[in-house]
């Protein structure tokens, strides 16, 4: 079932009824898809300026190796 939007406020009206199935697209159609880059930042800011500072000795849980 395709999505249905309320014309007055643009809200999705049938979210619970929408199904997305892999059978909606064939393997040939999938293989024909071509990805595109949405945005390019030619000169990104330095990494240190974008990461929040951490107190000395603090580690991120993402960098910890689980036993």
In a domain, 45, yes or no: no
pLDDT tens digits along 9-19 = 989 989 888 87
In a domain, 4, yes or no: yes
In a domain, 37, yes or no: no
pTM above 0.95, yes or no: no
Question: What is the Cα–Cα distance from 1 to 14, expressed in whole angstroms?
Answer: 9
How many distinct structural domains can be found in the chain?
A: 1
Tokens of 52: 């929040």
Q: How far apart are the first and last CA of the chain?
A: 45
In a domain, 56, yes or no: no
38 backbone φψ class: left, alpha, beta (φ>0; ψ -120 to 50): alpha
Higher pLDDT, 61 or 36: 36
Range of the domain at 9: 1-32
In a domain, 55, yes or no: no
SS3 of 63, please? Answer: helix
């Amino acid at each position: 079932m395709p999505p249905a939007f309320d014309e007055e406020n643009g809200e999705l009206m049938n979210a619970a009824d929408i199904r997305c199935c892999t059978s909606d697209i064939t393997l040939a159609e999938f293989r024909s898809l071509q990805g595109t880059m949405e945005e390019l930042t030619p000169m990104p800011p330095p990494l240190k300026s974008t990461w929040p500072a951490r107190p000395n000795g603090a580690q991120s849980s993402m960098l910890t190796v689980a036993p």
